[in-house]
């Protein structure tokens, strides 16, 4: 199978009201903001969506709000992953995936399996999953790196494993994947700061955090990069460098929620153990956006 996830995908936040409930009105507004400003697909219930503090019922309600707002205009990807293989498969089996183009499944965290353990985990998921799978390698959160050899082994062995979201912030690993990947397998940046570099090197785009706040500029940058127009793409990259750095300077998604609050798309509430961005960071974000918009 060929990777259908091209361009700028966004790892959408889960907005909360000040009392900590899911803010479905704000969520719908963020979806519409992205649809009308160039985003190519939406990833639901990833790290940026605070998936680990969302209940099963809340996840279903979030899916419903996004699907009802989207109305089939953009492909949707659902995060289903974890370090309990049986639980991941159970969720796949008990989720209506007919409205999704694929799932994003994180490499097992905390347990620190061997590379063969990671391979066997995704083999079991592949055999159970009726839709396309994007592998998600984020060693800074999982405490183990899914090596290019393991990723490429999975890509060659299972047709429904169509791409990897690589978020190790490791240029050498990106280049290894791009050099050796099978035809049609997608290498998607999970690092906003390296997204243009990966696109210019032959990658399939990005699943972005900052892209949901500034979709017009960010998606244009990625499209230019994928078209090989480095000069114009880097103009946008340089304009976006500061805000891309700022949103990750404390924690994700506190930073991006501070940006979205400044844009009047949602407030900046996060769930413990995360805390809101500091006043200092919020001011830097506001100063950046004032200059960016002008």
Q: CATH number of the domain that 183 lies in?
A: 3.20.20.70
Residue with structure tokens 């996830």?
A: 5
**pLDDT tens digit sequence for 8-54:** 999 999 999 999 999 999 999 999 999 999 999 999 999 999 999 99
CA pair distance 154, 159, nearest whole angstrom:
9
The domain tally of the chain equals: 1
**Cα angle: 113, vertex 106, 276; to 5 degrees:** 115
Answer yes or no: are the C-beta atoms of 189 and 174 closer than 8 Å: yes
Whether 31 is in a domain gets the answer yes
Whether 279 is in a domain gets the answer no
Check if 136 is active-site. yes
Tell me the whole-structure pTM to 2 decimals.
0.97
Check if 220 is active-site. no
Q: Which of these is catalytic: 41, 59, 119, 136?
A: 136
Domain that holds residue 85: 7-229
Q: Which of these is catalytic: 165, 181, 257, 282?
A: 165
Secondary structure (3-state) at 100 = coil
Whether 19 is in a domain gets the answer yes
Residues 6+ apart with CB under 8 A from 228: 200
CA pair distance 61, 63, nearest whole angstrom:
5
Whether 274 is in a domain gets the answer no
Whether 257 is in a domain gets the answer no
Q: What are the residues facing 165 on neighbouring strands?
A: 136, 188
CA pair distance 38, 43, nearest whole angstrom:
15
Whether 153 is in a domain gets the answer yes
Structure tokens at 111: 């347990």
Whether 129 is in a domain gets the answer yes
Structure tokens at 75: 């492909």
Res 259: pLDDT: 98
Q: Tens digit of pLDDT per residue, the chain (294 long)?
A: 799 999 999 999 999 999 999 999 999 999 999 999 999 999 999 999 999 999 999 999 999 999 999 999 999 999 999 999 999 999 999 999 999 999 999 999 999 999 999 999 999 999 999 999 999 999 999 999 999 999 999 999 999 999 999 999 999 999 999 999 999 999 999 999 999 999 999 999 999 999 999 999 999 999 999 999 999 999 999 999 999 999 999 999 999 999 999 999 999 999 999 999 999 999 999 999 999 976
Report the candidate in 15, 102, 8, 19 with the shortest Cα–Cα distance to residue 65. 15
Whether 64 is in a domain gets the answer yes
Res 169: pLDDT: 96
Res 294: pLDDT: 64
């Amino acid at each position: 199978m060929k990777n259908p996830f091209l361009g700028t995908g966004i790892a959408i936040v889960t907005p909360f009201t000040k009392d900590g409930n899911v803010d479905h009105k704000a969520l719908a507004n963020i979806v519409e903001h992205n649809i009308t400003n160039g985003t190519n697909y939406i990833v639901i219930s990833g790290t940026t969506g605070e998936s680990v503090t969302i209940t099963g019922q809340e996840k279903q309600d979030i899916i419903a709000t996004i699907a009802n707002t989207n109305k089939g205009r953009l492909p949707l990807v659902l995060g289903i992953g974890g370090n309990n293989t049986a639980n991941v498969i159970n969720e796949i089996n008990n989720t209506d995936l007919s409205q999704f183009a694929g799932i994003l499944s994180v490499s097992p965290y905390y347990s620190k399996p061997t590379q063969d353990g990671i391979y066997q985990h995704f083999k079991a998921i592949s055999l159970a999953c009726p839709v396309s799978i994007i592998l998600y390698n984020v060693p800074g959160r999982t405490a183990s790196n899914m090596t290019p050899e393991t990723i490429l082994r999975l890509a060659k062995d299972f047709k429904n494993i169509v791409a990897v979201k690589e978020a190790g912030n490791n240029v050498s690993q990106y280049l290894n994947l791009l050099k050796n990947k099978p035809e049609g397998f997608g290498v998607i940046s999970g690092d906003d700061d390296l997204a243009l570099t990966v696109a210019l090197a032959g990658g399939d785009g990005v699943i972005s955090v900052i892209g949901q706040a500034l979709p017009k500029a960010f998606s244009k940058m990625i499209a230019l990069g994928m078209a090989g127009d480095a000069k114009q793409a880097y103009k946008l990259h340089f304009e976006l460098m500061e805000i891309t750095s700022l949103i990750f300077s404390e924690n994700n998604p506190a930073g991006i929620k501070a940006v979205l609050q400044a844009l009047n798309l949602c407030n900046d509430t996060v769930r413990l153990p995360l805390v809101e961005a500091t006043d200092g960071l919020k001011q830097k974000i506001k100063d950046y956006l004032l200059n960016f918009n002008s």
